[in-house]
Amino acid sequence: MTTPSVVSRWPTREAYDAAMLTWHTALADPELRAGELARDSFGIRRYGGAGLYVCVYRVGDWLVRCFRANPPKQPPDDIMERYAAISAFSQEYAATLPALIPIDYQAAGITVHGQALPIVKMPFLRDAVPLGTYISRHVQDGARLRALADAWLRLIAGMEAAPLAHGDLDLTNVLVQEHGGVPTLRLIDYDNLWLPALQQRRQTESGHEHFQHPAYLPPQPRPYDPAMDRFSALVIYLSLLALIQQPALYAEWEADESAFLLLLRADYQRPTLPGGRIATLRTLPDLAPYVDALVAALQTQTMPPSIVTLADSIPVAPAPTPPLRAARPPVELRPRVMQFEGSRSRPGISRPGISRPGISRSRPLPTPDPFAHLAQAGAARPPAVAPDLAAPEDIPPRRLTDPTTPSFVMSDLARSGSFASSARRMRAGGVPVLTLLVALAVVVLLAVLLTSFHR
């Protein structure tokens, strides 16, 4: 079977559909023959190209791109030569330019009505979404948009270094993959790709109007050179930077997932309109240099400078350094029991940072001896507390807020600072029983005195 250098008449999509129903025999590639044709409820599943001169099928993990007649659109006469060069370039630069997906141009990849025709085989990226879809999903996520803007800048820098130009950068021809939260951009639709081997060719497409310089839209021809992506690259990068600061613009300006982002062709025709979209973007911090470059390109009807050059010329403000805070001394949360000197001193709870006159931190309040007067009179001290009596700590404690607690007990407990400390003092001095004995001794003494007085 011979491979034609020029196809005089391309098949229609219906003819390709009929051939793909028997893909295991119509396709020449062994990997494609072993795959499964993707279908949906409407039949063969479509993967773009509805309004163009291509039809795209998915077979297994691969996409198959076929060239068709779609009046009035027809594939360029040199489409096969172009894709042969693009295929070689993509495989050579796959390692250094990740955005460029390696493709495999097969001059006789499919047979339709007995005619061998070319196809383009490329990997199907399962986890990739169009750029416009990714932006609409994460427009409120400033960190993700910042990472996306950085990835866009790296994409353009890598393409310019290759050198390489796409010719139709928009929201659908760029896919986004995320790896560890970092977006990676991938290019698709290589029909109008510029590379050194094709520099003598002519322009085949004009691109989407909302991402292209109005001076180079039909019927005016657009230069086919490495600088042909600069306008669309600037528009998309400027829009991303604006959405990072003002995500509400996405809804207010009715951005779309496929047609346009923030700027329209009408905005390019009146770039200095007061209160217009371009003028509004210029008021946002750090966007003036990009807006000025866009306005100058529109006024002079020339391509703007590269966004890589613009970004390098704009100083980046350093991130503010948070002020150092003096170390605070540790605060002791456990209260301390303080003793007041003097006859009216009371134990209290100290507070950090507050000093009170008359507070002694080194000398505790002496416990009064209720039988000192007996010792002075030479009388014997009463016996200690019987061991079978319950100690104060064995008595169930009451809360200070218990309304049934007597006021004198509340006062004593408040002065002591806790139930436990009060119980310890009572146990140490035997206060409850000894107090009773003292009272009895006083009564006996008074009775003796009264008896002596009457005599």
Tens-binned pLDDT, residue by residue, of the chain (455 aa): 455 567 888 999 999 999 999 999 999 999 999 999 999 988 999 887 666 899 999 999 999 999 999 888 889 999 999 999 999 999 999 889 999 999 999 999 999 999 999 999 999 998 999 999 999 999 999 999 999 999 999 999 999 999 999 999 999 999 999 988 899 999 999 999 999 999 988 888 889 999 999 999 999 988 899 999 999 999 999 999 999 999 999 999 999 999 999 999 999 999 999 999 999 999 999 999 999 999 999 999 999 999 999 999 886 544 444 444 444 445 444 444 444 444 444 444 444 444 444 444 444 445 555 555 545 555 555 555 444 444 444 444 444 344 444 444 444 434 444 444 444 444 444 445 667 777 778 777 877 777 766 55
Note whether 156 and 305 are same-domain residues.
yes
d(CA 27, CA 10): 17
Last residue of a domain, one of 105, 123, 141: 123
Give the burial string for 429-448 (b: 16+ CB within 10 Å, else e). bbbeebeebeeeeeeeeeee
Kindly state whether residue 357 falls inside one of the protein's structural domains: no
Note whether 45 and 181 are same-domain residues.
no
Q: What is the DSSP letter of 391?
A: P
Note whether 419 and 391 are same-domain residues.
yes
Last residue of a domain, one of 313, 332, 359: 313
145: CATH: 1.10.510.10
94: CATH: 3.30.200
Note whether 39 and 70 are same-domain residues.
yes
Which residues have a Cβ under 8 Å from the Cβ of 60 and sit 6 or more positions away? 31, 32, 34, 35, 36, 124
Last residue of a domain, one of 66, 95, 123: 123
Kindly state whether residue 351 falls inside one of the protein's structural domains: no
pLDDT of amino acid 433: 62
3-state secondary structure of 46: coil
Kindly state whether residue 4 falls inside one of the protein's structural domains: no
pLDDT of amino acid 353: 45
pLDDT of amino acid 47: 86
Kindly state whether residue 7 falls inside one of the protein's structural domains: no
Which tokens belong to 326? Answer: 């003096």
Note whether 170 and 298 are same-domain residues.
yes
Answer yes or no: pTM beyond 0.75: no
* Percent of the chain predicted with pLDDT > 90: 59
Kindly state whether residue 331 falls inside one of the protein's structural domains: no
pLDDT of amino acid 347: 45
> Domain tally for the chain?
3
Note whether 119 and 138 are same-domain residues.
no
The closest of 171, 147, 149, 167 to 159, measured between CA atoms, is 167
Note whether 377 and 273 are same-domain residues.
no
